[in-house]
């Protein structure tokens, strides 16, 4: 079996995120991107880390690059919506979360759909959308 370094980076990144070691996870996400510039996952994880570290513009840029590479990356749309929400762009946030819901629904991911619906309802209620 051939060794896949990108999978190893993803495993390391996930572990570091689970340990709240976002700076180390980000460093590994950037190494993954350098190794494999077309890795949507690398940009997704970089987006997660930047968000956790409070770098919202960098988070948005990475989620957008992830989506550019993989138009069906539902988690990137959802987290882009969350980031937009934190920046008080409620209508944009709602649009991204609704689109994520559609993608998760197409994938029959009931748990993710429920999370999206909860977020959609919250945004609509809290901000009159």
- Contact present, 102 and 93 (Cβ < 8 Å): no
Rounded Cα gap, residues 78 and 43, in angstroms: 14
Q: Encode the chain (129 residues) as per-residue pLDDT tens digits.
A: 445 788 899 999 999 999 999 999 999 999 999 999 999 999 999 999 999 999 999 999 999 999 999 999 999 999 999 999 999 999 999 999 999 999 999 999 999 999 999 999 999 999 988
Cα angle, residue 59 at apex, residues 13 and 117 outer, rounded to 5°: 90
Give this prediction's pTM: 0.92
């Amino acid at each position: 079996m051939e060794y896949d370094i990108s999978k190893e980076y993803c495993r390391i990144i996930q572990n570091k995120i689970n340990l709240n070691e976002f700076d180390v996870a980000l460093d590994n996400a950037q190494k993954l991107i350098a190794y494999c510039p077309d890795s949507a996952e690398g940009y997704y994880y970089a987006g997660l880390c930047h968000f956790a570290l409070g770098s919202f513009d960098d988070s948005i840029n990475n989620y957008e690059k992830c989506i550019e590479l993989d138009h069906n990356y539902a988690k990137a749309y959802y987290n882009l919506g969350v980031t937009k929400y934190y920046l008080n762009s409620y209508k944009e946030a709602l649009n991204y979360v609704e689109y994520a819901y559609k993608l998760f629904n197409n994938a029959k991911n009931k748990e993710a759909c429920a999370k999206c619906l909860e977020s959609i309802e919250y945004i609509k209620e809290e901000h009159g959308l």
